[in-house]
Amino acid sequence: MASSHGSSPVPRPGVGGRDGIYHKERDPSSPRCRRPVRSLPDVCPKEPTGEGRGLCDGPSVVAEHDRWTVYSSKVNLPAALNDPRLAKRESDFFTKTWGLDFAETEVMPSFYLPNITREHFGPYLQETAQREKIHERCKTICPNKDDVDRYVTQFCSAVCFLQIFLKPDFALEDPATFNAVLPWSHFNSAGGKSSRDVASSKLLQEKLSHYLDVVEVSIARQISLRSEAFFHAMSSQHELQDQLQETQRAVAVLRGRTADMDRIMCQGPLRALRTALARNNCVKLHNKLKLMAAVHQTQPTVQLLLSTSEFVGALELIATTKEVLQQELQGIHSFRHLGSQLCELEKLIDKMMVEDFSMYARSDLSRCLRDEPQVLEKERLESLVFGLLRQRKLDFLDIYSDEMILAAKAIVAQCVAESVLHIEEIDTEVVTKLADQMRLMTFPQWFEVLKNVFESFLLFLQRIKATLSVIGNVVLEVLDSNQKNRLLEEAGSGASGQESSQGSSLLQGEAELAYLTHEGLFISDALNEAQQQQQAAAQDQKTGSTEAADTCVLLFGCDSSSSAVFSRVLTASVSVFVSSSGENMMPTELEMNRVINNSQELLYTASDVSHDRCVKVLTARAKDGSLERLNSAEFVCLSQAVEGFVRDTEELCGRRSVSLRGALQSQANRFVHRFHEERKTKLSLLLDNERWKQAEVPAEFQDLVNSIADGRITLPERKTPGPEDRKPTEFLLVNGQKYAVVGTVLLLIRMFLEYCHCVNDIPSIATDMLTRLSDLLKHFNSRSCQLVLGAGALQVVGLKTITTKNLALASRCLQLVVHYIPIIRAHFETKLQPKQFSVLRHFDHITKDYNDHIAEISAKLVAIMDSLFEKVLSKYEVKAPMPSACFRNVCKQMAKMHEAIYELLPEEQTQMLFLRINASFKMHLKRQLARLGVVNDGGPQHGLVVVDVAFYTENVQALRSLERLDLNMAEIWEQKR
- CATH number (domain holding residue 885): 1.20.1280.130
Residue 42 within a domain: no
Residues 913 and 824 in one domain: no
- Please indicate, yes or no, if residue 328 is contained in any of the structural domains: no
Regarding predicted confidence, which is higher, 300 or 69? 300
899 with 968, same domain? Answer: yes
SS3 391: coil
CA atoms within 13 A on the CB side of 171: 5
> What is the reported pLDDT for 566?
38
**Amino acid, res. 442:** T
Confidence bin at 21 (pLDDT 50/70/90): very low
Listed residues 807, 832, 861: the one ending a domain:
861
What would the pLDDT profile of 49-87 be if each residue is shown by its tens digit?
444 444 344 444 444 445 666 566 555 566 656 655 554
Does the pLDDT at position 790 exceed 80? yes
Domain holding 287, by residue range, is: 209-292
The pLDDT score that the predictor gives to residue 974 is 58
Q: Lowest mean pLDDT: which of 678-687, 706-715, 752-761, 919-928?
A: 706-715
Cα–Cα distance measured from residue 646 to residue 640, given in angstroms and rounded to the nearest whole number: 10
Same domain, 384 and 276: no
Tell me the per-residue pLDDT of 126-140, one tens digit each, with 9 for 90 and over. 888 888 888 888 777
Q: Is residue 545 part of a domain?
A: no
Same domain, 434 and 389: yes
Tell me if residue 737 falls in helix, strand or coil: strand
How far apart (Å, rounded) are the C-alpha atoms in residues 820 and 705?
10
Asked if 835 and 910 sit in the same domain, the reply is no
| Average of per-residue pLDDT across 304-330 | 76
pLDDT digits (tens, 9 = 90+) for 148-174: 566 566 666 666 766 777 777 878 788
Q: What is the CA 755 to chain-centroid distance, rounded?
A: 48
- Rg of the chain in Å (alpha carbons): 67
Residue after which a domain boundary falls, among 259, 292, 325 = 292
Q: For 750-761, what is the mean pLDDT?
A: 86
What's residue 35's pLDDT? 42
Per cent of the chain over pLDDT 70 is 72
> Are 850 and 732 contained in the same domain?
yes
Number of domains in the chain: 4
Query: Is residue 716 predicted with pLDDT exceeding 50?
Result: yes
On whether both 699 and 841 belong to a single domain, the answer is: yes
Average pLDDT in the chain: 75
pLDDT at 717: 64
Q: What is the pLDDT of residue 816?
A: 93
In a domain, 479, yes or no: yes
Alpha-carbon distance 173 to 236, whole Å?
Answer: 38
Give the DSSP H or E segment for 732.
strand 732-734
Which pTM does this prediction carry? 0.54
CA-based end-to-end distance of the chain? 177
Write down the pLDDT at residue 103. Answer: 58
Asked whether the predicted pLDDT for residue 854 surpasses 90, the reply is yes
Residues 801-812, mean pLDDT to the nearest whole number:
91
Least confident of 375-384, 478-487, 863-872: 478-487
Residue 189 lies in a domain: no
Distances (CA, A) of 786 to 481, 783, 804, 852: 84, 5, 16, 14
DSSP H/E element including 313: helix 311-327
Q: Which residue has the higher pLDDT, 556 or 841?
A: 841
Which of these ranges, 153-167, 268-282, 394-408, 730-744, has the smallest mean pLDDT? Answer: 153-167
Please write the tens of the pLDDT for every residue from 631-646.
Answer: 777 888 888 888 888 8
> Does residue 623 lie within any of the structural domains?
yes
Residues 599 and 470 in one domain: yes
Q: Express each pLDDT in 228-264 by its tens digit.
A: 887 888 888 888 888 999 999 999 999 999 998 988 8
Run of H or E including 733 = strand 732-734
- DSSP letters, 780-828, are HHHHHIIIIIT-THHHHT--S---HHHHHHHHHHHHHHHHHHHHHHHHH
- 236 with 345, same domain: the answer is no
Q: How many CB atoms lie within 10 A of CB 232?
A: 10
Residue that wins the pLDDT comparison between 241 and 37:
241
Per-residue pLDDT band at 357 (split at 50, 70, 90): confident
- What's the CA gap between 386 and 585, in Å, rounded? 12
Burial of 676 (0-12, 13-18, 19+ CB in 10 A): buried
Asked if residue 912 and residue 836 are part of one domain, the reply reads no
Identify whether residues 477 and 599 lie together within a single domain: yes
Q: Same domain, yes or no, for 391 and 439?
A: yes
Nearest-CA neighbor of 444 among 250, 637, 653, 701? Answer: 637
Residue 889, pLDDT score: 92
- What would the pLDDT profile of 548-603 be if each residue is shown by its tens digit? 334 333 333 344 334 443 334 333 333 444 343 344 466 777 877 888 888 888 88
> Among 292, 322, 349, which residue terminates a domain?
292
Domain presence at residue 152: no
Q: Is the pLDDT of residue 474 over 80?
A: yes
pLDDT of residue 713: 76
> Does residue 200 have a pLDDT over 60?
yes
Look at residue 279 in the predicted model and tell me its pLDDT: 94
Q: Provide the pLDDT for residue 811.
A: 93
Q: Please report whether residue 480 resides in a domain.
A: yes
pLDDT bin (cut points 50, 70, 90) of residue 496 is low
